[in-house]
Amino acid sequence: MKRFFTHNIVLKLLSLALAFILWFVYSGSRELTTAISVPVQYRNIPTDLEIGPNLVEEVRLIVRGPSPLLSKVSASPAPVILDLGHVRRPGLTTFSIHRQNVSLPTGVVLERAIPSQIQILTETRVTKEVEVHPIFQNIPAGFRVVFWSATPRVLTLSGPKSRMDSIHHVNTDPIDLQLHGMAGRVKTTAFAGDPQAHFTESPEVEVEFRLERLPEAAPGGGGEGRR
């Protein structure tokens, strides 16, 4: 029995001292309440659905606990995790924020969240092929674009059906014709034009064009040709 208490006595005394220090720090700390901002992360989003534009990216948590623990939580807040794995069809789904989807250390209590619920609108994800239309600017006076072509001619967009229905073509970044002469090829980028839409491949395109003098040149004349 005596050997049990004397074996590794130094290590046991150090462990006891450390335990006492931790007890003293946390038992002597005042219990406080504070608010912290944490990110919201969405997990297991179905591949055939898109989250609508009402996406909530951050919530505020009202938490209570010892001051040292609250300082630790504030310094490196863990995200709120919302699992969409049970969502099977488009529509509105409400998620409540509670202790089960908030990661807090033992000793810290979640009083409430602001907002306490998040309502997510999901829509059917669709893909759509749209034509690429080049945008020309600074067409020299007395000239017009008589020919243009884009390679690739069409690009594929993906996004919520309600947003895809309103997109019929995409434009390129403006091409300054004062920099490229009477004819040429220019590499540029197509712009989706909707934050909910994204290209399924590279949006880089090459535009070929040719200018021609107007039959009756006039100051400030110009226009955009057709293919």
Residue that is written with structure tokens 């907002």 in the block:
115
**Contacts with 140 (C-beta within 8 Å, 6 or more apart), sequence order:** 177, 178, 211, 222
pLDDT digits (tens, 9 = 90+) for 113-132: 999 999 999 999 999 999 99
> Which CATH fold topology does 125-213 show?
RNA Polymerase Alpha Subunit; Chain A, domain 2 (2.170.120)
Q: Average pLDDT, stretch 98-119? A: 90
pTM confidence score = 0.66
Please, which pLDDT band fits residue 226 given cuts at 50, 70 and 90? very low
For residues 114 and 96, give the distance between their C-alpha atoms in angstroms, rounded to a whole number: 11
Collapsed DSSP state (helix, strand, coil) of residue 207: strand
179, with CB counted inside 10 A (0-12, 13-18, 19+), is exposed
CATH of 33-115, one of 3.90.1150, 1.20.120, 1.10.260, 2.170.120: 2.170.120
The pLDDT value recorded for residue 129 is 97
What is the CB neighbour count within 10 angstroms for residue 152?
16
Task: Read off the DSSP letter of residue 15.
Answer: H
Residues carrying CATH 2.170.120.40, the chain: 125-213
pLDDT tens track for 52-91:
877 899 999 999 988 888 888 888 888 999 999 999 899 9
Burial of 61 (0-12, 13-18, 19+ CB in 10 A): buried
